[in-house]
Amino acid sequence: MKMRLIGPEGLDPFVYCSHGTPVPSEGDVVMGYEIRYGAQEYIRRKLNHLLNIRLILVPWGRNSTVALIYLLHWETEAETIGLDEKVFSDRYTDSDFEGSVRTVYSNTICFSCKRQWHTLIMPPGDYYPGRGSDMFYEKVAKREILRCPGCGSSLRQLVVKIIEEAFPEAASGHP
Ligand SMILES: [Zn+2]
């Protein structure tokens, strides 16, 4: 596991963590930043299996000693091949990050069919310090926002990845 402060795409510097880096807990101090809102247990268990995701720690404002956890997500695994090597040998460019969006984990319920899904969502608002809300909307426009796999309804969140169903046994009608 390796970590490095980088600022691609004109963004304020954030901590990039190599694939497989253990997810810190709330209160941990990592690279000089105190972590707020540690990732949920689900992500702690699943993150290492998702190749097109990187853990990042985003400082909460300039000169802050507090950082928030995000999951940088690319649409395809091909986009992240060799990325760790590029970052840690300082050979990465903006184009390596163009396809990425900042996400957080969410247990998303479909209001139509009531099935629940483990998902990654783009939180609404400005989560791109250094570039502002314009970049947020640019990122949203580049990605397909997913609908409920069960019934096709809108999930009412900016869902970019559905990992699997939560409580599938409940949906199938078994006790
Ligand atoms: Zn549904």
Distance 100 CA to ligand 1 centre (A): 27
- For residue 94, what are its two tokens? 């903006």
Distance 166 CA to ligand 1 centre (A): 13
Kindly report the pTM of this predicted structure.
0.91
How far is 172 from 175, CA to CA, in rounded Å? Answer: 9
How far is 29 from 19, CA to CA, in rounded Å? Answer: 19
Nearest to 91 by CA among 154, 33, 4, 12: 4
How far is 41 from 136, CA to CA, in rounded Å? Answer: 27
pLDDT digits (tens, 9 = 90+) for 122-151: 998 777 989 988 899 999 999 999 999 999
SS3 call for 37:
coil
Q: Are 1 and 87 in contact (CB under 8 A)?
A: no
Q: Are 82 and 96 in contact (CB under 8 A)?
A: no
How far is 108 from 110, CA to CA, in rounded Å? Answer: 7
Q: Are 97 and 107 in contact (CB under 8 A)?
A: no
Indicate the domain borders of the chain: 3-171
Distance 164 CA to ligand 1 centre (A): 13
Distance 116 CA to ligand 1 centre (A): 8
pLDDT at 15: 96
pLDDT digits (tens, 9 = 90+) for 147-174: 999 999 999 999 999 999 998 876 555 4
Distance 161 CA to ligand 1 centre (A): 15
Bridge partners of 103, per DSSP, are 71
How far is 82 from 105, CA to CA, in rounded Å? Answer: 25
Confidence of residue 1 (pLDDT cuts 50, 70, 90): confident
pLDDT at 40: 75
Distance 147 CA to ligand 1 centre (A): 8
Least confident of 53-67, 107-121, 137-151: 53-67
pLDDT at 175: 45
Distance 152 CA to ligand 1 centre (A): 6
107-110-115 Cα angle (round to 5): 75
Confidence of residue 106 (pLDDT cuts 50, 70, 90): very high
